[in-house]
Amino acid sequence: MASIKKRGNSYLLRVSNGYTVEGKQVDSTKTWRIPQGMSDKQAEKEALRQAILFEEECKGGATSSAVKFDTFFTQWFDEYAKIKIKASTMRTYRWLEVRIRKEIGHLRIDKIATRDIQRLVSKLHSEKQSTKTIKHYVSLISTVYRYAVKVQLVSKNPCTGVDFPRNDSKEREMLTLPEVQQLFTLLQEEPAENLQYVVAMTLLAYLGLRRGELLGLEWKDCDFSSGIVSVRRAAYQSKLMGHYTDTPKSKTSLRTLKLPLDVLALLTRYRAHQRVYAATLGDKWHETDRLFTSWNGSYMHTSAPEDYFKRFCAKHGLRVVTLHSFRHLNASMLINAGLDVKTVQAALGHSSATTTMNIYAHQFQTAQARACEAVSNALKINIGA
């Protein structure tokens, strides 16, 4: 509630506007002067009305008058992000924060408007940043503002209503079925010392795993009696943190997947091979229970499978694609097999069916078109007759 205090021929109006990041209360004040000819009783009544209007004005705007975005950004990292945010996400946030601080860090948090965020979007777009990257920037700013609203530092989030450039139309890189068949024919000819990479490529294609999920697999995740593989963790690597293990990308990324018998047989052979190899190293072997390791059993560098795959493709004259293309291939095969979007979502570990549909919209449309054609061929009705 606003307070009023008479001072000669004016009233001092005061409204409490929350607290600074240091915990100090912030007040907004306004002086209302009594018009000539107004009685004391009329002035007191009008001052009360002005106080109510002033309070509504303050509450409709920001509740802090001095905190810069840069200052609150630091506080958000310290008291919220370090507790709530996954290590892998924090790594991305730390990369994004440099540019965000540069662009809006010097501005007061209560003065940043939607148009300021929109200008940042336009600037990033002019620098040829992808729509996905731009959304990451705005998402981080929005997350910080949601927390600022929660602690009553501001009353609204300026990221609401921001428009983004149209999604990039770049076609997703994916191996064709003949290329995959040729690839696996050549993989069968690989020497025993490369068996773990052969198994890695096989699991990527058959299970549609992300790279981190693949490298996070441990032998206890493999149930050889049922042929079930459980995805429970992901392995990551960064210059700041080195190798570290975290949960997969989202809660729905925790999933169980069924292996075909021939892949299960390959995995069984690889387990025996690893055990024999570990025995030959003796004390030099570091037991981590990981399927895929460095030469002495310690954690494999996350770039190792990609590096091997590039060398393999160059050696055999194959088209070079990223390891993530195996995931797209897996999704495409599931969709072409007639599986519904929810089943594909569960297999890939996407956070929602909407995500799956957005990424693979073209494949679903193509599969639907083939389904309609199949129905037409089955009915063989001459509608025009």
pLDDT band at 62 (very low <50, low <70, confident <90, very high): very low
Show the tokens assigned to 74: 């630091």
Q: What is the pLDDT of residues 68-95, one digit of tens each?
A: 899 999 989 988 888 888 877 888 898 8
Q: Does the pLDDT of residue 63 top 50, yes or no?
A: no
Task: Summarize the confidence of residues 254-263 as an average pLDDT.
Answer: 93
Task: Summarize the confidence of residues 345-361 as an average pLDDT.
Answer: 84
**Mean pLDDT across the chain, nearest whole number?**
86
Q: What is the pLDDT of residues 110-119, one digit of tens each?
A: 889 999 999 9
Show the tokens assigned to 110: 């209560």
Per-residue CA distances from 114 to 139, 158, 216, 283, 291 (Å):
13, 4, 41, 61, 49
Residue 373 pLDDT: 66
Task: Summarize the confidence of residues 282-290 as an average pLDDT.
Answer: 96
CA angle (185 as vertex; 184, 187 as ends), nearest 5: 60
More confident residue, 371 or 333: 333
Which range is least confidently modeled, 58-67, 177-186, 225-234, 261-270? 58-67
pTM for this structure? 0.66
Residue 32 pLDDT: 87
* DSSP secondary structure letters along 191-236: -GGGHHHHHHHHHHHHH---HHHHHT-BGGGEETTTTEEEE--EEE
Q: What is the pLDDT of residues 10-20, one digit of tens each?
A: 988 888 766 55
Q: Does the pLDDT of residue 322 top 60, yes or no?
A: yes
Q: Does the pLDDT of residue 385 top 50, yes or no?
A: no
Task: Summarize the confidence of residues 53-76 as an average pLDDT.
Answer: 74
Tell me how crowded residue 205 is: count the other CB atoms within 10 A of its CB.
Answer: 20
- List 258's β-bridge partners, or say none: 228
Max Cα–Cα distance, the chain, nearest Å: 103
Task: Summarize the confidence of residues 220-248 as an average pLDDT.
Answer: 88
Number of H helices, E strands in the chain: 15, 8
